[in-house]
Amino acid sequence: MWRDSGEPADSFYAVRPDCSDVTKTRFKIKAGKTLSPRRWHAAFSPDGCLDISQTLSRIQRGGVHPSIRGEVWEFLLGCFDPRSTFDERDQLRQQRRVQYARCKEECREMDSLVGSGRIITAPIITEDGEPINDPLVLLEADQGKAQETTAMFREEARNNVILDKKIIQWKLTLHQIGLDVLRTDRTLVFYEKQENLSKLWDILAVYAWIDKDVGYCQGMSDLCSPMIILLEDEADAFWCFERLMRRLRGNFRCTESSVGVENQLQSLASITQVLDPKLHQHLETLGGGDYLFAFRMFMVLFRRELSFGDSLYLWEMMWALEYDPDIFSIYEEPGFTGERNDGSKGKAKSIRQFGKYERENLKNGAKHSQGPLPITVFLVASVLKEQSAKLLQEARGLDDVVKILNDVNGNLDAKKACSGALKLHRKYLRKAKNSR
């Protein structure tokens, strides 16, 4: 139900009473600006096609009302084509739920803790695939049952001979997922419930098995957590997370010679060099020319720099700004391609169906070796610009750079950061165009 103008969004993401020092969100629900449930439902035609241009412009002005955030995100992330009907989406949702259930069952057959409601935080096998007979099984509501489960699991581990290297690799990540899950958003009342923690663990375990090229990496739990909170059905939350990972999985791909997020760090360096050469030179002098100090902002999309509510607000504004209606097709078989798909159910008829950031790229013919630069690069650039004077005056080493940027934590204004990113983007495109 639509509530009064100016209502803070914190009431939708309750914080545990013992966490009194949690940063309050700056995001306020504003009638006439925030996408309300009434406006959202009115944006659909009788058969279910969504007027995406109207929706994007509302989100870009004032974010999404928390009560409809999950269903709006499914469109912003490309789970559904706005040109699809209610019936088509219902059918696709059911297909995806069945597919997720199959994937989860496949994982459960390899490890009975998947789907059991329990979480492990200690290794269950060695790197050679030998079972470790004393895994730590945590957070069982019934402690007697927990001991029984542990004994059963030890017996199962002794009887299992693991030969497949991919299975070994997957099992080696399970305890790391457990450790990260127990640290993720624990200030929220939502995660006081064991079932919500185990849902997060299950989704990450299934994703790690399906996307074998990337597997599980630290930071993914921060990206997945909001999906669990916003979408009640576990399968729906999984596919929303999977769509987000299609955009971000390149950040998590690491080899012996390169960090996955390196391309974006290099782009950030290039942008700063063009837009703020004095700051770029200063950072290079301090030994920060690789911009690794910005690593975390890219990996978890500002989750550390913002309150929980503000990070969701920032994400949906980012996705609305860089929305491309032709990325995904409703008829695409759900799966892990790891790439942005260009198939679509008919081309977008109007440039208004693209986000504001994407429209600028289209108008200016902005190209990059791997497609247009993501808006996150300009968001990080806008944070550096905001702190430029302080960095130039006070930073005498890389530790100072990190400290100054850490002081931003909890104080970043999501809407201001997006406005700053758009301004820098336009300025960068103009300079790039003039230098051709």
* Long-range contacts, stretch 253-257, CB < 8 angstroms, 24+ apart: 253/213, 253/214, 254/217
In a domain, 315, yes or no: no
pLDDT at 93 over 90: yes
pLDDT of 98: 97
Task: Kindly state whether residues 347 and 384 are assigned to the same domain.
Answer: no
pLDDT of residue 338 exceeding 50: no
CA distance to 16, 206, 222, per residue, from 119 (Å):
22, 13, 17
Is residue 194 a contact partner of residue 141, using CB atoms and an 8 Å limit?
Answer: yes
Give yes or no for residue 134 having a pLDDT over 90. no
Question: Do residues 140 and 31 share a domain?
Answer: yes
Same domain, 189 and 301: no
- Give dist(CA 395, CA 353) in Å, integer: 43
Asked whether residue 369 is domain-assigned, the answer is no
Residue 136 pLDDT: 57
pLDDT score, position 369: 47
Q: Are residues 118 and 244 in the same domain?
A: yes
Residue 372 reports pLDDT greater than 90: no
pLDDT band of 142, cuts 50, 70, 90: very low
**What CATH number did the domain enclosing 296 receive?**
1.10.472
DSSP assignment string, 316-370: HHHHHHT--TTS--TTSPPS---S-----SS--S-GGGS-HHHHHHHHHT---BT
Query: What letters, b where the CB count within 10 A reaches 16 and e where it falls short, cover 86-107?
Result: eebbeebbeebbebbeebbeeb
User: For a pLDDT cut of 90, what percent of the chain falls above it?
Assistant: 58
For residue 2, pLDDT beyond 50: no
Domain total in the chain: 2
pLDDT tens figures, 255-292: 666 667 888 999 999 999 999 999 999 999 999 999 99
What digits encode the pLDDT tens for the residues 146-187?
555 555 555 555 555 545 889 999 999 999 999 999 999 999
What are the pLDDT digits (tens) for 40-60? 999 999 999 999 999 999 999
Nearest to 172 by CA among 219, 232, 131, 227: 131
Among 364, 386, 415, give the residue marking a domain's end: 364
Give the residue with greater pLDDT, 125 vs 366. 125
Q: How far apart are the first and last CA of the chain?
A: 52
Domain span at residue 275 reads 262-305+374-434
pLDDT score for 290 = 92
Domain finish residue from 364, 388, 413: 364
Residue 1 lies in a domain: no
For the chain, give the percent of residues with pLDDT over 70.
83
Contact 263, 300 (CB under 8 A): no
**How many residues comprise the chain?**
436
Give the pair of three-digit tokens for residue 77.
Answer: 């992330």
**Are 171 and 226 in a shared domain?**
yes
Give the CA-trace dihedral at 60, 62, 65, 68, to 10 degrees: -10
Closest CA to 190 of 230, 242, 220, 151: 230
d(CA 204, CA 174): 9
358 and 425, same domain (yes or no):
no
Identify the pLDDT of residue 47: 96
> Does residue 196 lie within any of the structural domains?
yes
**Res 145: pLDDT:** 54
Q: Give the range among 16-25, 219-228, 347-356, 390-399 with minimum mean pLDDT.
A: 347-356
User: Residue 346 above 70 pLDDT?
Assistant: no
Structural domain includes residue 165: yes
Residues 24 and 143 in one domain: yes
Q: Is 314 part of a structural domain of the chain? A: no
Q: Are residues 127 and 22 part of one domain?
A: yes
Same domain? For 407 and 342 the reply is no
- In terms of domains, do 171 and 277 share one? no
- Position 141 pLDDT exceeds 50: no
b/e sequence 209-240, b meaning 16+ C-beta within 10 Å: bbbeebbbbebbbbbbbbbbbbbeebbbbbbb
- The pLDDT assigned to 259 comes to 64
Same domain, 137 and 276: no
User: What DSSP element (H or E) covers 58?
Assistant: helix 52-62
pLDDT value at 334 more than 60:
no
- Judged against a pLDDT cut of 90, whether residue 389 lies above it is answered with yes
330 — pLDDT class (breaks 50, 70, 90): very low
At residue 285, φ and ψ (nearest 5 deg) are -60, -35
For range 232-254, the mean pLDDT: 92
State how far the Cα of 193 lies from the Cα of 198, in Å rounded to an integer.
9
Residue 36 in domain:
yes
| pLDDT tens track for 417-434 | 999 999 999 999 888 777
Q: What is the pTM of this model?
A: 0.88
Does residue 331 have a pLDDT over 50? no
Asked, for residue 142, whether it belongs to a domain, the answer is: yes
Average pLDDT, rounded, for the chain: 85
Does the structure show a pLDDT above 80 at 370?
Answer: no
Which range has highest mean pLDDT (36-40, 304-308, 335-339, 371-375)? Answer: 36-40
Q: Are both 57 and 104 inside the same structural domain?
A: yes
- What is the mean pLDDT of the segment spanning 366-371? 56
